[in-house]
Amino acid sequence: MSLLRRKSAGVLPLEVCVPRIVCMLATLALVLVGLVMVYSASSITELVNGQPAAKSLISQAVYAVFGIACALAIFRFVPYHLWSGNLTWAIWGVSVLLILLTAVAGKSVYGAQRWLEIGPVAIQPSEFFKIAAVLMAAKLLYQARNGEADNRTLLVEALLFIIAPLMFLYATQSDLGTTLVCAVGILAVMWLGEIPTRIFAPLIGCCFGFGILAVVFSGYRSGRMVFLNPWNDGANGLDAGYNIIHSFYAFAEGGLLGVGLGNSHEKYQYLFASDSDFIFSIIGEELGLIGALLVIAGYLAILWAGLQIARKADDGMGAMLAGGLSIMLVAQAFLNMGSAIGVFPTTGKPLPFISSGGSSMIASLLMMGIILSVSYAEGSQQVYEKRRASLHILRADAPAPSAERRSRAPYPSGLREQAHRGQAPSRGYAYGGWASYGRQTSGGPSYGRQPYGRQAPNRGQAPSRGQAPYRGQSAYRVEAYRSEPAFQVGVRPYRGRGRL
């Protein structure tokens, strides 16, 4: 059964529904694992502070429900094409305003001013700025690819609306982790947007150079390089290497199958931030290597599904959004897990869908909603299919039919005259060749792309580059074939860089 018939029958093709289902199930599984592990890791700390053991669990569940509702609303009611318009400017403006307010009146936690209190709620605006940065990068690059902006304008807008706010975020909040995660998302958008290698490669080098300089010229970040040998921190592992050492203890205690859910030893206030930055260590201790690998498999499933959705997207905007957000989300997850196992220095970035924290949970689910909205558009009739459905024959040249065909169905003599008057062709037979198409209007043929040129008289013969039949007409190579009882033409849409 063809793709169109399957869509018309209400059944989505596998290449559309499978990535969508995988993405949903993997996200739901990670959220459920996060709720369980937040309760397990935070219950002891809550009891020590005189709070109910399930306080963090209840808060996290409320954030998860709200985030899922927002994600479903975006998935169902916000077409991703809107992000190429003024909606991105609105999200960008709100995100930048929150960053400015955080710099002026933010709350300092553990020496970093990254939180903004709005009534009884404290949010971390940098989590939402990540989304705005990817949306703006995709919007600017999409406009440049469509010819709405030249290279100079693209460079100026990128510096003003992406690089400048990102550097302000880094300078005011001293948040290298968020800066690097945003850089990964922006580079992913550029990669999917087919930026030339001569430009893309130096940008990657600049990002690496910036990260190295930010570590070298910052004292407390240089101290985090102790992850290479945490016992050599100048205090026998009781200073900068303390937390990473206890993270190693947690993984060592967990072994292959873990010590059992809720039986962690390190969560008894030995491991700092056991419910947020180092929750993956508690997963490794309680669920063992098997549980940790299953969590990693969940993020890999999201990455695969997101890239498949990007590959099947209707246009470049959808591909850049789905792919860029998927890569950025999974990159942050691996940055967190790498810090827990001692591969990367500690950055303080939460584990998406799992770590305790409302801003991280809601922002991660919003990104998932945007990714799924691209998949939702794939399930509907695509752009080139809508255009093909609106095509009408304006002129068709074919060789003289044989005696047998002439006796069965003569070629309609008034076809060309009807086409010149902007009328629909008569029902009959036509044979292969080159034909010109366009949308039919009341006054004649519509204006689209310039046709290739004069029609070739025989099948398979290339058209000459001579006189065009109509100015602005669209021309496509078609395969005309006999069909009972009406005239049918199979149009092969272009599936290259720019889709039909």
How confident is the model at residue 238, as a pLDDT?
A: 82
Residue 496 lies in a domain: no
Residue 473 lies in domain: 387-491
CB 479 within 8 A of CB 489: yes
Q: Is 392 found in the same domain as 351?
A: no
Q: Rounded to an integer, what is the distance from CA 377 to the centroid of its chain? A: 14
Q: Is the dihedral of CA 475, 476, 477, 479 positive or negative?
A: negative
Which residues of the chain are under the pLDDT cut of 50? 1-9, 406, 409-500
Q: Is 432 found in the same domain as 302?
A: no
CA–CA separation, 62 and 279 (whole Å): 19
How confident is the model at residue 173, as a pLDDT?
A: 87
Q: Is 333 found in the same domain as 291?
A: yes
Q: Could you tell me how many residues make up the chain?
A: 500
Q: Is 261 found in the same domain as 371?
A: yes
Q: Is the dihedral of CA 86, 90, 96, 97 positive or negative?
A: positive
Reading across the β-sheet that carries 433-439, which strands appear in turn? 391-396, 433-439, 474-481, 488-491
How confident is the model at residue 298, as a pLDDT?
A: 97
**Which residues, at least 6 apart from 219, have a Cβ–Cβ distance to it below 8 Å?**
none
Residue 3 lies in a domain: no
Question: 3-class SS at 71?
Answer: helix
Both tokens of 39, joined, read: 């309760």
pTM: 0.75
CA–CA separation, 335 and 72 (whole Å): 27
Among candidate residues 322, 352, 380, the one where a domain is terminated: 380
Q: Is 394 found in the same domain as 335?
A: no
Residue 262 lies in a domain: yes
How confident is the model at residue 111, as a pLDDT?
A: 73
How confident is the model at residue 442, as a pLDDT?
A: 41
Among candidate residues 380, 395, 427, the one where a domain is terminated: 380
pLDDT in tens, 282-339: 999 999 999 999 999 999 999 999 999 999 998 999 999 999 999 999 999 999 999 9
Residue 224 lies in a domain: yes
Among candidate residues 363, 380, 397, the one where a domain is terminated: 380
Please give the tally of structural domains in the chain: 2
